[in-house]
Amino acid sequence: MRKSGKIAASALARSLENIKPGVVELEVDKIAEREIYKLGGDLSYKTVPGYKYATCITVNEEVVHGIPTDREFIKNDLVSVDLAVMYKGWHTDCAWTKLIGKDREKEKFLQIGEQALWEATGQAMAGNRIGDISAAIQKRVEGAGYNVVRSLVGHGVGRSLHENPQIPGVGAAGRGMVLKEGMTLAIEVIYTRGREEVVLGSDGWTFKTADGSWGGLFEMTVIVGSKQAEVLTDWRKV
């Protein structure tokens, strides 16, 4: 899992640094794919029936599961890259949203999502409960006036890309499954600037906000620790 996470972090870092005006989504997907293969990993998303890309890429009102296309990025786009790696049968999953350019309101939106992620991973300690993670996300996101998407959740990860338990972005502290040391979780902050409802796009994959507001996505794979979580996919440390 640690090796898988390092590969995923590196692929996410390379993807994010290449998100610029004039670059197309498929270019970023290929950059991630090459990095994963170069480091000895495989594409976890190949285990998803009917999906053939290394990443999911979403822009602005899109929230998750976007198929990379030949669309060019432009200034002030909010771009999310979600990718997963398989290494010797072990999966890790991560995502990040980047703003192209400068926009105070969009920067605040992303700052809240990132804060929610780190506060949530900070709850991934043995003896805590799933609800402690969920409550941390909800408090930070909704406290800032945004909304958590209820229909999309984080999850366990390891031998498969998606495993139990589900980890909602809303919930009550002290409720749910007790966390045990060594559990591996993909903690996700999936949120919107407007209403929390999402709709499935015409491509059959991409979820978008129902009201056309911005979507944001932050995700890290962690190991539950005795005193603190170990983050496996932190691209900032590559």
pLDDT reported for residue 199: 98
pLDDT reported for residue 40: 98
Q: State which amino acid sits at residue 11.
A: A
Q: What is the pLDDT of residues 85-125, one digit of tens each?
A: 999 999 999 999 999 999 999 999 999 999 999 999 999 99
- pTM equals 0.97
Q: How many CB atoms lie within 10 A of CB 93?
A: 28
CB 218 within 8 A of CB 96: yes
pLDDT reported for residue 80: 98
pLDDT reported for residue 231: 98
pLDDT reported for residue 129: 98
Q: How many CB atoms lie within 10 A of CB 238?
A: 13
Q: How far from the centroid of its chain's Cα atoms is residue 233's Cα?
A: 10
pLDDT reported for residue 132: 98
pLDDT reported for residue 173: 97
Which residues in the chain come in under a pLDDT of 70? none
pLDDT reported for residue 147: 98
Domain residues for the domain of 146 are 2-237
pLDDT reported for residue 23: 98
pLDDT reported for residue 191: 98
pLDDT reported for residue 117: 98
Pairing mode of beta strands 62-64, 90-99: unpaired
CA distance 128 to 181: 10
CATH number, domain containing residue 55: 3.90.230.10
Helix (H) or strand (E) holding 7: helix 2-17
pLDDT reported for residue 77: 98
Structural domain total, the chain = 1
Q: How far from the centroid of its chain's Cα atoms is residue 199's Cα?
A: 18
pLDDT reported for residue 64: 98
